[in-house]
Homo-oligomer: A and B are copies of this chain.
Amino acid sequence: MTRPRTNLARHSHASSAVPCRVCPLRQLPCFRPFTAEELTFVEQFKQGEKRLKAGMQILEEGQPSSNAYTLLSGWAFRYKTLPDGRRQILNFVLPGDLLGLQAAVLADPEHSAEALTDVTLCVFPRAKLWDIYNNYPGLAFDVTWLAAREERFLDEHLLSIGRRSAAERSAYLLVHLHQRIASLTPGSDVTALPLTQQQLADALGLSLVHTNKTLRRLDRAGLVRWRDGLLHCPDWPALADFAKFEAGDPATRPIL
């Protein structure tokens, strides 16, 4: 249980926005190709970029935000807290993920989001979201697609926290993150996890101490090693099997 930081996402500069058509993220093989027409639309839809330091709040519970974001670089996480400070991390947000859709579609956001590392966000004004639905059904479908993917992650996380043991659940999350990172960093064989154990604990619904002991046990058992922010696993399939990991992410996905 940690108290969330109080600093607001204030000083942010819309700077040197990269045109979508040359966006390095989009070139990755895990994202679906887009037509020139779609790219032109997305480019004018994009309001600018926003950079935030690690630890800053991207969305805050109750604070109506008028924007949605695509994460361009860095890591973030969505979370909720109870009045007494207990915190649950709902999901991690990686490059290419859409953030703030709930806030944009429903009234206001019921969750917060924090930058885990320094991040770059692509800003979409909420008002323009409607344009997508009116003019680009393909992109509107993509929005729903991304929402359905997020929902699936939540389903799996819920199964994890509700029914998996501490060790299974930890292993599951590591495999899950490894998979998502791997699709974003083709060719690289090291997996960097820029997390603290406290954050991992808040994602797992465990205490910090127990998370630590569980990780050490997984390490001693030779299943995974997580040292200095780097993940090493001698046998990913074995770890996935231990974690009862099932789902796989589709090969390609949309991005806004």
Q: Which residues of A contact B (CB under 8 A)?
A: 1, 78, 80, 82-83, 86-88, 90, 101-102, 105-107, 110-111, 130, 133-134, 137-138, 140-141, 143-145, 147-152, 154-159, 161-164, 204-205, 244, 246-247, 250
Contacts and interface: CB of A to CB of B under 8 A. Distances in A.
A147 B162 CA distance: 22
Contact of A137 (B82, B107, B137): B137
Nearest to A168: B82
B155 A154 contact: yes
- Centre residue among A111, A141, A159 by max chain B CB count within 10 A: A159
**Complex copy number for this chain:** 2
A131 to B, nearest CB: 9
A168 to B, nearest CB: 9
Given A106-B250, A137-B133, A244-B82, A88 B154 contact: no
A208 B205 CA distance: 20
A163 to B, nearest CB: 4
A114 to B, nearest CB: 15
A141 B88 CA distance: 29
A78 B140 CA distance: 25
A90 B156 CA distance: 9
A80 B204 CA distance: 18
A155 B106 contact: no
Contact of A247 (B110, B154, B205): B110
Instruction: Kindly list the 3 A-B residue pairs having the minimum CB-CB distance in the complex, ordered from nearest.
Output: A162-B205, A133-B137, A88-B162
Contact of A158 (B1, B90, B133, B247): B90
A82 B163 contact: yes
A150 B151 CA distance: 8
B145 A141 contact: no
B141 A130 contact: yes
Contact of A110 (B141, B147, B156): B156
Contacts of A204: 162
A5 B205 CA distance: 30
Contacts of A138: 133
A161 B158 contact: yes
